[in-house]
């Protein structure tokens, strides 16, 4: 069985190093690591609202213990992210990934709001470029240009060794600059599923 990412990348999938391939294996997998979460102060009320509809995280942090559990349901992949902050507070950020047109993927943070992205292999790294936000209403899908919403999305993932990889997610608005970033290092497809280390 091919994973959703393997289908999107086609032959380019074989250029990814082992840790990035392990990150996107089919079936149920677990990545364990740490995230730095940062954003400017004026984004706090925006993120408070967005987090209530399932998008992004509303708290800053350094080296936040994080686990990402992924599983496949039909042709969709579920991502369940759990972040454990230094004071023991847990935050969840869940999403569902689906195949999109032209080798794109769409990440839905709730049943109607998603982000369409184009993954590309650059050297031995995996780069994502945001294409548009989408709103799905029944059988209709409405595209929203990135500049009308939070801004342009980029993600870069690179292997650190055979098991570990680093990732860097950024949202950059054409007027306000970088409005959100989380980045960190993970062990791909860790063997045991439990709470993140505190």
**3-class DSSP assignment, residue 72:** strand
pLDDT surpasses 60 at 194? no
For 108, residues 6+ apart whose C-beta sits below 8 A from its C-beta are 95, 96, 97, 98, 114, 136
pLDDT digits (tens, 9 = 90+) for 53-73: 999 999 999 999 999 999 998
The phi, psi pair for 112, rounded to 5°, reads: -125, -15
Contacts 24+ apart (CB under 8 A), 135-142: 136/108, 136/111, 136/112, 137/112
What is the residue-wise DSSP string for 159-188?
A: ESSSSEEEEEEEEEETTTEEEEEEEEEEET
Residue 12 or 190, more confident? 12
81-99 average pLDDT score: 96
The per-residue pLDDT for 192 is 44
Q: Which structural domains are found in the chain, ordered by start?
A: 4-187 (2.40.128.20)
pLDDT surpasses 70 at 193? no
**3-class DSSP assignment, residue 32:** strand
User: For the whole model, what pTM was predicted?
Assistant: 0.91
């Amino acid at each position: 069985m091919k994973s959703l990412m393997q289908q999107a990348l086609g032959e380019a999938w074989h250029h990814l190093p082992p840790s990035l391939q392990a990150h996107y294996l089919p079936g149920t997998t677990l990545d364990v690591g740490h995230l730095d979460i940062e954003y400017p102060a004026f984004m706090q009320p925006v993120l408070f609202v967005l987090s209530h509809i399932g998008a992004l995280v509303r708290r800053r942090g350094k080296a936040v213990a994080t686990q990402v559990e992924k599983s496949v349901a039909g042709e969709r992949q579920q991502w369940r992210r759990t972040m454990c902050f230094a004071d023991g507070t847990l935050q969840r950020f869940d999403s569902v990934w689906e195949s999109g047109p032209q080798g794109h993927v769409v990440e839905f943070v709730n049943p109607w709001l998603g982000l369409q992205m184009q993954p590309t292999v650059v050297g031995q790294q995996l780069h994502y470029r945001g294409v548009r936000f989408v709103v799905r209403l029944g059988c209709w899908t409405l595209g929203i240009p990135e500049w009308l919403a939070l801004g342009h999305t980029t993600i870069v993932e690179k292997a650190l060794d055979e098991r570990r990889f680093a990732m860097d997610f950024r949202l950059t608005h054409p007027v306000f600059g970088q409005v959100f970033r989380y980045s960190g290092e993970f062990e791909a497809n860790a063997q045991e599923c439990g709470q993140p280390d505190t």
